[in-house]
Structure 1
Amino acid sequence: MAIKRVSVIGAGQMGGGIAQVCAQAGFDVVLVDTTEEFLQKGLGRISANLDRAVSKGKMSEEEKAAVLGRIRPTVHLEEAAKDPDIVIEAIIENMSVKQDVFRRLDELCPPHTVLASNTSSLPITEIAAVTKRPEKVIGMHFMNPVPVMKLVEIIRGLATSDEVFQVVEQMAKDLGKVPVEVNDFPGFVSNRVLMPMINEAIYTVYEGVATPEAVDQVMKLGMNHPMGPLQLADFIGLDTCLYIMEILHEGFGDSKYRPCPLLRKYVKAGWLGRKTGRGFYVYDQ
């Protein structure tokens, strides 16, 4: 089986980025979201990304137009499920919402369609369980920002077939990404390692060990990280960080994954990072 037609569910930062790299790789893409407003915002982000590539001489105006021409937006899930070879879901990190979408996709999509989730931490096996094709359900966790970052975690569910894994692995390579096989555990590899580090960095601020600026300087200059953990947390979104820590805490039942009280306090205050203008740092809107 070869992938030719792709549908992406969700036109947000991740979904839009996935649609962009698929279209750049020559795939025909249907991009779906719940409202016309969300779709237009997503297409605007894609266009802005492509404009930067044009300004840097990495792409011509004609190539940009061709990429945008391969993306068809719609607010109808039925249209996105009509004839795709793969559907990549990139919506909110909420199990019940994802299961509802996968249940509908399973009913609407042709039997050959692979159903992939861009979830960053939720169990693929549990998502697959609501479908009648668990062997065709897989995790395809892209990194943010999608057009820039090379890694894609490919996560096998309990029932994912070898054939489906190989097809998705090859697709990731066709997108210019580096696929890494990961088994289905909470947080996979990326967030199981990253989020406890971020959480511990928050604890150092909470306990008065150092300021956010000092923590980030130590990790950038001492550990050669390109971005400090608190700056990164603001970029990811503190609500997302909290949610993933809660998934790890619940999934493993280990106190080492307990979210820092300061993280909870910031989220309750609406200080979610860059997207709200304030997190561990203050941003100009």
Structure 2
Amino acid sequence: MLPPHRPARRRLVALACLLALLVVPGGAPSQAGPGDPPPADDDSFVGAGGYTYPRPTNAAKVFRWGAETWRDEFESGGALRPQWRVSRPKRVREQQGQITMDARAHTGTVSVTATDTAAAYGRWETRVRAKRYDAGTPYRFFWELVPVQPTGCPGGRDQRIVIASWAQDDARAVGSIGVDADTAFTFGADLDLRIGYFHTYAIEVAPDHVSWFVDTKVVHTERRPEALTGVVYRPRLRMQAVRGATMARSRMQADWVRHYSLDRPGVLPVTAPAMTRTDLAPLC
């Protein structure tokens, strides 16, 4: 026969085990391992390479821009849709649900431009990454809007909007909008751009402002009249080579590219610092 105190002790042990299962520790939120999906109740997750991503990763969801008016998810199974104008077709393809642009030492500049969408106003967004594979001269990567019709700006700048531009291992992604032949509004956002991490870049172009978003956060809003061009734009991805240089073998990939109208107001304010007016040529 068990001693009288033993059943009570067993009940206490069982109760302690039950409490251990029910009580949630109060430390930092858990995060997924590299490549794992994010936990349902977390606001960030760790992707391949150890970079901590916000969740959700797109500004459209955070600011509730509504349904896309145009998009390409790059899931047709291999061939890029013919509506994309490609500068070097042999270097561009769809791969595992992404548009993939490959460039080698002497490929030169590679670009893809969507020809089946155009708008003066709206929101454009993409989730994109780029990586260098050897020690050659780095390509510079661009996610940008280009005018449908040349605007006659001196120097061929055409008031394009650079939503984001960077080279691998840069400490910042930068952007710009051309004002005239000698002036641009520019900005930089501190960002970890090593080893091909994905980042999401968006822009909202309205009649009274232009706002830039990096990884779901609004980083700059420009309201000066010179930045409000009214130009009709198309989206473009570009890998820019340096003329005459032996370039590093590199790759640029985008998960998707989307456009949203301004019909649905954002649910969060876009108040943010203005861009820097500079007497340098726009990034191109």
TM > 0.5: no
Q: TM-score range by the shorter chain?
A: under 0.3
Pick the structure with more helix per residue.
1
TM-score (normalised: structure 1) = 0.25
Q: Which has the higher contact order (CA 8 A, sep 6+)?
A: 2
Pick the structure with more strand per residue.
2
Q: In terms of Rg, which structure is larger?
A: 2
TM-score (normalised: structure 2) = 0.25
